[in-house]
């Protein structure tokens, strides 16, 4: 009975996590370590995970001068009117699902590739605001789309 309770992981509130975390008894009865279930591989060590999270949050590969230069280069683009040139569909606008935004005009509101003075890996770094007139709505629906620089062009005013 003692070997059975020692071979199980601590109980969890979720039934599915209890089933996934259950350990099988090892082949030798003298060993106190338990093997991971077949097909799931070894279970991660909590200390190793904690260290990996800490390193990911505190490492900074870009210098402050590079970040400041990038912010200075992008600052004049914020507030400019743009037109979408790439064929793009967005699905997050509730009033107009499956919306094709090619040819729509909007305003660049934010550059999100730099956060709290550090460069982050934003795949679509420009946050652009659009206004869409929807039938039956008294005022236009406002929504945001994140775009790459090659997906839009600046409109001369």
Element (H, E) at 2: helix 2-6
Calculate the alpha carbon distances from 101 to 26, 50, 90, 134 in Å: 58, 42, 7, 14
Q: Across residues 10-26, what is the average pLDDT? A: 53
What CATH class has 64-154? mainly beta
Q: Is the pLDDT of residue 36 over 90?
A: no
Instruction: Give the closest residue to 127 by CA, choosing from 80, 72, 87, 68.
Output: 80
The pTM score is 0.58
Residue spans of the domains in the chain: they are 2-58, 64-154
Residue 153 per-residue DSSP state? E
SS3 47: helix
Ranges 44-53, 70-79, 95-104, 114-123: which has the least confidence: 44-53
User: What local confidence, expressed as pLDDT, does residue 94 receive?
Assistant: 87
The backbone torsions φ and ψ at residue 77, rounded to the nearest 5 degrees and listed phi first, read -80, -20
pLDDT, position 139: 93
């Amino acid at each position: 009975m003692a070997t059975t309770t020692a071979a199980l992981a601590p109980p969890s509130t979720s039934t599915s996590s209890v089933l996934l975390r259950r350990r099988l008894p090892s082949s030798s009865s003298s060993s106190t370590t338990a093997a991971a279930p077949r097909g799931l591989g070894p279970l991660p060590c909590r200390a190793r995970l904690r260290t990996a999270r800490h390193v990911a949050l505190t490492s900074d590969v870009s210098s402050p001068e590079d970040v400041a230069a990038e912010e200075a280069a992008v600052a004049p683009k914020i507030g400019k009117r743009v037109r979408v040139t790439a064929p793009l569909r967005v699905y997050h606008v509730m009033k107009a699902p499956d919306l094709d935004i090619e040819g729509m005009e909007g305003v660049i509101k934010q550059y999100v590739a730099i956060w709290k003075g550090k460069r982050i890996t934003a795949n679509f770094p420009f946050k652009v605001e659009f206004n869409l007139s929807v039938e039956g709505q008294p005022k236009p629906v406002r929504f945001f789309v994140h775009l790459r620089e090659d997906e839009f062009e600046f409109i001369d005013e």
